Structure 1
Amino acid sequence: MRFCIIPVTSYRQNCSLLICEQSNKAAIVDPGGDIDAIIKTINKENVSPESILITHGHLDHVGATAELAALLSVPVIGPHRDDQFLIDAIPEQCKAFRFPACDSFTPSRWLNQGDIVKVGAEVLDVFHCPGHTPGHVVYVHRNTKLAIVGDVLFKGSIGRTDLPKGNFNTLINSIKNNLWPLGEQFSFISGHGPMSTFGEEMRSNPFVGV
């Protein structure tokens, strides 16, 4: 499996395109906005989108979801149902944060700890990692040792926990109990900023170093 990272919105949120090289099928992770840029990357890579995967319900990660799902006729998968309150509030959040108007949506499938999702022939394991939001999930591709962690973990930092229903201790437990056991070799794509590895964050991250 290969991937492309597409920074979108004024928050420079990392929308990711996950591509199964065997089937040429793709999943779009966290389409927060800038649909033209997402479509341009899809066309450039010459892939066939088959789903939209959501890590959590914050506006900069989901703003373009409803429109893009309708445009491409693909299902929306994730996050965990505990983020429904955030998705339901998308229209109001657009006004509050001066985003372009966006519609809320209902995922075709909510996700839970231990679920799997497929991108073509590739399999992603799902980890429920609350703390930044209560319904945040992480997608893990074991074969390439890649995790798409949304706003759970960043290079040198962690997700905010001062937003509605965030919880610092819960977030720390999510990282240490779900992510660190996967191993130091895993690289990860965050919701914002550069990639890193679990090993590097274990050694140097001031919030969750071991």
Structure 2
Amino acid sequence: MKYSIIPVTPFQQNCTLIWCEETNRAAVVDPGGDLELIQARIDELGVVVEKILLTHAHIDHAGGTHEFSTRHSIPVEGPHPGDLFWIQGLDQQSKMFGFPRVESFTPDRWLDDGDVATVGNQQLQVLHCPGHTPGHVVFYHQASELALVGDVLFQGSIGRTDFPQGNHQQLIDSIRNKLLPLGDEVAFIPGHGPMSTFGEERRNNPFVSDKRYG
């Protein structure tokens, strides 16, 4: 599986285009906005987008979902149903953060822990990782040792938990019990900022390292 990161919105959210080399079929993960930038990357790579995957429903990750899915007539998969209230409040979120007005949507498929999301012939394991939002999910592609973690974990930091229904202990548990055990060599694409590996964060991240919890 290949990937291309496309920073979008004033929050520089890492929208990611992932695709199956065998089929040239692709998914857009977290199309928060700036759809013309996403489309330009799709056209440049010549892939065929078959779906949208969402890690969670904050506006910088999900704001462009309705427009993009309608434009391409493709389904939306994710997040977990725990983020329904965030989806329903997208218009309010747009006003709060100064984004263009966006429309709400209903995912074609809600995701839960243990589900599998496909892109072409590739399979991604779905892990429900609440804490930043109650319905946050992570997509893990075992074959390429790559995880798309949204706003759960960052290089040297972790997601905020001061939003409605955020939970700091849940977030720590999600990272320590679900993500880090996937292996030190697993690279991850966070919702913002540079990539890292679970091993690097396990060793050095002040919020979740073995030094703190070992």
Q: Which of the five TM-score ranges fits, normalised by the shorter chain?
A: over 0.9
Is 2:151 aligned against 1:151? yes
Local SS of the residue matching 2:7? strand
SS in 1 for 2:143: coil
- Distance in 1 (CA, whole Å) between partners of 2:25 and 2:156 is 33
> How far did 1:79 drift?
0.3
TM-score, normalising length from structure 2?
A: 0.98
Equivalent residue number for residue 117 of structure 1? 117
- Partner in structure 2 of residue 141 of structure 1: 141
| Farther off after superposition, 129-138 or 88-97 | 88-97
Distance 2:96 2:159 in 1: 21
Matches within 5 A, 1:27-66: 27-66=27-66
Further displaced range: 93-102 or 197-206: 93-102
- Displacement of 1:95 after TM fit? 1.2
Structure 1 residue ranges without an equivalent (≥5): none
The aligned amino acid for 2:171 is L
TM-score, normalization: structure 1? 0.99
Q: Distance in 1 between matches of 2:179 and 2:96?
A: 33
Distance 1:42 1:157 in 2: 30
* 1:92 Cα deviation from its structure 2 partner: 1.4
- 1:96 CA drift (Å): 1.6
Instruction: Give the C-alpha shift of residue 180 in structure 1.
Output: 1.1
Shift of 1:93: 1.2
Q: Which deviations, in whole Å up to 9, do the C-alpha atoms of 1:73-120 show, x marking residues without a partner?
A: 100000000000000000111112110110010000000000001000
- The letter for the 2-side match of 1:197 is T
In structure 1, C-alpha distance between the alignment counterparts of 2:102 and 2:41, rounded to whole Å = 21
What is the letter of the counterpart of residue 44 of structure 2? K
Q: Report the 3-state secondary structure (helix = DSSP H, G, I; strand = E; otherwise coil) of the residue aligned with 2:144.
A: coil
Cα distance in structure 1, aligned partners of 2:96 and 2:201: 34
SS in 2 for 1:206: coil
Q: Match of 1:139, SS?
A: strand
1:176 aligns with 2:176: yes
Code of the aligned partner of 2:151: D
Listed as ranges, the gaps of 5+ residues in structure 2 are none
Matches within 5 A, 1:93-108: 93-108=93-108
> Residues 55-86 of structure 1, C-alpha deviation per residue, up to 9 Å, x if partnerless?
00101000000000000110000000000000
SS of the counterpart of 1:143? helix
Name the counterpart of 1:7. Answer: 7
Aligned length: 210
What is the CA–CA distance in structure 2 between the aligned matches of 1:181 and 1:141, rounded to whole Å?
Answer: 14
Q: Are 2:7 and 1:25 equivalent residues in the alignment?
A: no
State the AA in 2 paired with 1:204: N
Q: Give the counterpart letter for 1:16 in structure 2.
A: T
One-letter code aligned to 2:30:
D
In structure 2, what residue type is equivalent to 1:56? Answer: H
Offset of 1:204 from its aligned partner?
0.4
Verify: 1:92 aligned to 2:92, yes or no.
Answer: yes
